[in-house]
Copies of this chain bind each other. A is one copy, B any other.
Amino acid sequence: MTQTATSRPRASEAERLARATISIVAEPGDYTFLGLTSELGALRFLEALQEHPDHHHQLRAAAARLESVDAERELDRAESLGIRFVVPGDAEWPTQLEELHAAGTVQERGGTPVGLWVRGPLRLDRLTGSLAVVGSRSSTTYGDRVAGDLAAVVGEAGRAVISGGAFGIDYAAHRGALSVGAVTVAVLACGADRIYPTAHRDLLRHLGRHYAVISEAPPGASPFRVRFLARNRIIAALARGTVVVEAAARSGALNTSNWAQRLNRVVMGTPGPLTSVASVGVHQLIRSGAASLVTGGPDVLELLGAAGEHLVEEPRGPERPRDALPVRRRQVLDAVPVSEPASTASVALVAGLGVVEVHQVLVRLEEGGLVEQVRTGWRLTERGRE
């Protein structure tokens, strides 16, 4: 069912305006607003808010602000900034976000966003099956490398990489995906027009030009702490799985993985040295069973994919000479001492085989360079010891 740009279904303009209004008056992740919008619908909720503004102090404050909101003008202003407001009903709406409605709240934040403000050409339904890469802002060189490699492998396999545009692991993940020309998007806690952190101006510009910078908060919104918590749930919900690369004991990345777990997404973690505080939170996740240990992109693809889609080949050590031997010869080889030479009879005894047969096999093994005969008997060569 491919649809051309013009025939794509779109939400009604009234619906979009109502949702923009709510997005502007309500805080991201405010479950009172979002839950009621999901339950009543945006238009009915707004009506209710205007008719009965005295339910709750939060709603009262919002109702008071409603009068000053001109959603149409805000949408126009957003458009002039290159930002569109994507809502349920739009063809590109990432329906996986609906699962947030029943996923409860974490630190008082939760609910399906009323819409997402998007800067950039990427359609949000392209994020189906994507991977979120999250982790410490104060990552180590090791963590950056792991995140970058992993994002590159997953991105190259055609899956989008979602992160938060922050310092550390986020940055390494975006960069890793970009290094192979893969799709990557940043979900921000501030408005999609804002550059935060400012040091990531180039990255965020690039994402906005080629992919997408996404926010639940309207253009102009500042990066408050609560908005980071709200933002984390959007990252977890958009992606099919979240991998935590480095996280100290109380890292915000653990908030994201917590959401991913609640949403029955695939939760993964990459281990690191036990001596690194940057890995403590990840080890804790794996140890508690909340996250699966992954060792790189192939593992991640296996867990993200449908069963059998990406089967990881178990790593094998290098092929050793003895592996190529027939069973009988291996049996004899295994009976030859590592250090002091042994007689053929002694080797035969250990191997549980006849002396004549063992002697024949030893000669063949000597030809293969695996054993050598010295004055006092047979012993393994360097090659035979491998």
Residues of A within 8 A of B (CB): 27, 30, 57-58, 61, 65, 142, 145-146, 196, 222-226, 248-251, 270-275, 279-280, 283-284, 286-287, 292-296, 299, 314-318, 320, 333-340, 342, 348-350, 352-354
Determine if B339 and A196 form an interchain contact, defined as CB atoms under 8 angstroms apart: yes
A314–B290 Cα distance when bound, in Å, is 14
Q: Is the CB of A338 within 8 A of B225?
A: yes
What is the bound-complex CA distance between A318 and B61, given in angstroms?
36
Tell whether, in the assembled complex, residue B352 and residue A57 are in contact, meaning their CB atoms are under 8 Å apart. Answer: yes
- How far is B333's CA from A74's CA once the two chains are assembled, in angstroms? 28
Whole-angstrom distance between the alpha carbons of A326 and B225 in the complex? 17
Give Cα A120–Cα B123 distance, bound, in whole angstroms: 72
Interface of A is mostly: loop
How many Å lie between the Cα of A235 and that of B226 in the bound state? 53
* Contact indicator A57/B353 (Cβ below 8 Å): yes
Nearest CB on B from A150, distance (A) = 9
CB distance B57 to A354 under 8 Å?
Answer: yes
Minimum C-beta distance from A218 to chain B (A): 13
Say whether A273 contacts B142, CB under 8 Å: yes
Complex contacts, A335 vs chain B, CB 8 Å: 224, 226
On whether the beta carbons of A275 and B145 are closer than 8 Å, the reply is: yes
Once the chains bind, are B250 and A317 in contact (CB under 8 Å)?
yes
- Chain B residue numbers with a CB within 8 Å of A274 are 146, 270-272, 295-296
**Which of chain B's residues has its CB closest to A140's CB?**
B273
Task: Give the shortest distance, in Å, between A43 (CB) and chain B (any CB).
Answer: 23
Q: Is the CB of A287 within 8 A of B295?
A: yes
> Which residues of chain B are within 8 angstroms of A316 by Cβ–Cβ distance?
249-250
- Partner pick for A222 among B293, B294, B333, B338, CB 8 A cutoff: B338
**Contacts of A272 on B, CB cut-off 8 Å?**
271-274
Query: B292–A271 contact, CB under 8 A?
Result: no
Contacts of A338 in B (CB 8 A): 222-225
Are A222 and B271 touching (Cβ within 8 A)? Answer: no
Which B-chain residue is minimally distant from A222 (CB atoms)?
A: B337
B337 and A58 form a contact (CB under 8 A):
no
Q: How far is the CB of A194 from chain B (nearest CB, A)?
A: 9
A342-B222, A350-B27 are contacts. A280–B315 as well, Cβ < 8 Å? Answer: yes
Docked-complex contact B223 and A339, CB < 8 angstroms: yes
Q: Which residues of B contact A354 (CB under 8 A)?
A: 57
Name the residue of chain B whose CB is nearest to the CB of A379: B222
> Are A283 and B287 in contact, with the CB atoms below 8 A?
no
The CA-CA distance from A315 to B285 in the complex, in Å, is: 11
- Can you spell out 30 A-B residue pairs with CB atoms less than 8 angstroms apart? A57-B353, A57-B354, A61-B348, A61-B349, A145-B275, A222-B340, A224-B334, A225-B338, A226-B334, A226-B350, A249-B316, A249-B317, A251-B317, A270-B274, A271-B271, A271-B272, A271-B273, A271-B279, A271-B283, A271-B286, A272-B273, A274-B296, A283-B295, A284-B295, A284-B314, A284-B315, A286-B286, A286-B293, A287-B295, A287-B299
